[in-house]
Chain A
Amino acid sequence: DGGITQSPKYLFRKEGQNVTLSCEQNLNHDAMYWYRQDPGQGLRLIYYSQIVNDFQKGDIAEGYSVSREKKESFPLTVTSAQKNPTAFYLCASSVRLAGTGGEQFFGPGTRLTVL
């Protein structure tokens, strides 16, 4: 089955620790995205990538970092610089960057809680 997987589903972090959220897709999509979801605020874009070894900041990139070494993988690191990291994180992919009419496909999400 083609799709997007995210791991872990739940993640707990102590303050001051960096954590990495995994996102893998086997849809052969060029573009991948990371969103943060907080209650009542919808989805906010953290980073996106159009192609391997290239990525751009979204609206709320501060305190986050990403890499795109392989087409299938787009991990997100939440650093200790992110002051309020507790949230639900969603990874998505699309055939290519927005504008061709194609939709985004979403993973199941990772819920990060800072203790």
Chain B
Amino acid sequence: AQSVTQLGSHVSVSEGALVLLRCNYSSSVPPYLFWYVQYPNQGLQLLLKYTTGATLVKGINGFEAEFKKSETSFHLTKPSAHMSDAAEYFCAVTLVGNQFYFGTGTSLTVIP
């Protein structure tokens, strides 16, 4: 069975500081991995995804994530936080023929 764990339901960073949001998955084979962002009262928007190939994936708004098979992780980073990054972030995984599985989300607060 697949599962997704997002460590830290709330993360606060200062404007300009590094953003690190953690995601670990459990799967016997490498899954497809996604990060989504959700602003209040809106739907989810894809930030980036990993399918195959290069393990460092770049997404929109300066975010990137690295797939580490040995650590079963797909952490999301951004070098310098901006006020507009304040939102809810969801990690998701899927395997061939299966559903999408979402983590419980991490709420990011950016302190001016």
A97 within 8 A of B: yes
Cβ contact within 8 Å between A43 and B90 = yes
Cβ contact within 8 Å between B100 and A98 = yes
Q: List the A side residues contacting B95 at CB < 8 Å.
A: 98-99
Instruction: Kindly identify, within residues 59 to 88 of chain A, every residue whose CB is under 8 Å from any CB belonging to chain B.
Output: 88
Residue of A nearest to B44 (CB): A106
CB distance from A21 to the nearest CB of B (A): 13
Cβ contact within 8 Å between B52 and A101 = yes
Number of residues of chain B lying within 8 A (CB) of chain A: 26
Q: List the B side residues contacting A98 at CB < 8 Å.
A: 32, 94-95, 97-100
B42 within 8 A of A: yes
Cβ contact within 8 Å between A106 and B98 = no
B96 within 8 A of A: yes
Cβ contact within 8 Å between A106 and B9 = no
Interface residues of B, dominant DSSP:
loop
CB distance from B102 to the nearest CB of A (A): 4
CB distance from B6 to the nearest CB of A (A): 8
CB distance from A39 to the nearest CB of B (A): 9
Query: What 0/1 pattern do residues 10 to 27 of A give for CB contact below 8 A with B?
Result: 000000000000000000
Which one of A88, A92, A97, A103 has the highest number of Cβ atoms from chain B below 10 Å of its Cβ? A103
Bound CA–CA A101/B50 (angstroms): 8
Residues A106 and B94 in contact in the complex (CB < 8 Å), given A42-B105, A48-B99, A98-B99: no
Measured CB to CB, the residues of A under 8 A from B are 4, 6, 33, 35, 40-43, 45, 48, 58, 88, 90, 92, 94, 97-101, 103-109, 111
